[in-house]
Structure 1
Amino acid sequence: MRSKLVLLGILCLCFSCTDQLVYSEYSALEDAQWQRTDTLSFDLDVQDTLNVHNIYINLRNNEAYPFSNLFLITTFRGPSGETAVDTLEYAMAKPNGEWLGEGRGGLKESRLWFRENIVFPESGVYNLKVTHAMRENGVVEGLEVLSGVTDLGIELERLD
């Protein structure tokens, strides 16, 4: 019976997902402390201008993360220099305080949509810069140090 379940699981993995990982990179944050002045930068060398892609921002947080949401400022620059700057908000916990994301114990990984169903208009190096934009309620100044973020990464998937 157990071998049948294992085989079923493998078959589900093979047929349930046609996405193909093209690029994945992470930056570790020392002592799980993200300084407001720390800009994390990722270079995507894109040669495929025909297929549809998704881009994700992956964030790993531990139990020291003090918020139920996350605000990021992203700057996405194409090979020709065109630039898009966005302020993004993501939910990190359910209303009852339970962490979203995958993982057991005190470390969770959240896969956050950045760009969905895009076809790159030109080949070349695309750059993504990410900073946090967190602040305490009622405080105008941004948080100097965001605790509990252990790693931030980016993934590029080609959709078949």
Structure 2
Amino acid sequence: MLNHLTHINRKSVVKTMNLVFMLTILCLTHSCDKKYINIHDFEYNEWAKFDTIDFNFNINDTTKTYDLSFFFRNSINYTYRNLFLLIDLNHNGRIIQIDTVEYKISDKYGKWLGRGLGNMKDNYLIFNQNMMFNKEGVYKIRIRHGMRQDPLLGVNKLGLQIK
């Protein structure tokens, strides 16, 4: 009986966490001047080394600057202090920018830098601020992780936000 109650409590905590996450994203998208937000969920909380995540977005105004950032949700099963991302920015099938970026996920003592309750931590990672695009049209950001572990465990979500 106690085991059944524990299972129910875990399910309700997970449902509550997902509801809070969705409400947070909803509030963020309506409270700010967001141009784009898209989130990829990782099945089984793992990211295979050559599993490329694609985000497509449209740029209509080349006179404005844009801030690009990533949302990364990890569980406490993520065993690293950092996250390396291999990023390609494409326009019309041509790569226009290639980056390898390192983000800190925890400090040297193992304290998570992201926010969150329970087993999940939400990290907001700045990629490029005040970026200008030379041409209008559809752009694609392709992302792979650059960590040694394959698959990378404890990865729940990765998102792109452009404002």
Give the TM interval when normalised to the shorter protein: 0.7 to 0.9
* Whole-angstrom CA distance in 1 between matches of 2:56 and 2:130: 19
* Whole-angstrom CA distance in 2 between matches of 1:109 and 1:59: 6
Q: Kindly indicate whether residue 63 of structure 2 is the aligned counterpart of residue 50 of structure 1.
A: yes
Q: Is the 8 A contact 1:55 1:113 kept in 2?
A: yes
Structure 2: segments with no counterpart, 5+ residues: 1-30
SS across alignment from 1:21: coil
Q: Kindly indicate whether residue 143 of structure 2 is the aligned counterpart of residue 149 of structure 1.
A: no
By how many angstroms is 1:81 displaced? 2.4
By how many angstroms is 1:86 displaced? 1.1
SS across alignment from 1:31: helix
* Whole-angstrom CA distance in 1 between matches of 2:135 and 2:117: 40
Number of paired residues? 133
Using structure 1 for the length normalisation, give the TM-score.
0.78
Deviations 1:39-90 (A, max 9, x none): 0000011112122210011111010001000111001112472421111101
CA RMSD of aligned residues (A): 1.5
Q: Which amino acid aligns with 2:39?
A: Y
Counting only pairs closer than 5 Å after superposition, residues 1-160 of structure 1 correspond to structure 2 as 20-79=33-92, 81-135=94-148, 143-157=149-163
Q: Which amino acid aligns with 2:153?
A: S
* Whole-angstrom CA distance in 2 between matches of 1:79 and 1:102: 37
CA 1:82–1:31 in structure 2 vs 1: closer, same or farther (change >3 Å)?
closer
Structure 1: segments with no counterpart, 5+ residues: 1-17, 136-142
CA 1:80–1:38 in structure 2 vs 1: closer, same or farther (change >3 Å)?
closer
Using structure 2 for the length normalisation, give the TM-score.
0.77
SS across alignment from 2:94: coil
Deviations 1:81-129 (A, max 9, x none): 2421111101000122111112222111111111111122111011000
Higher fraction of helix? 2
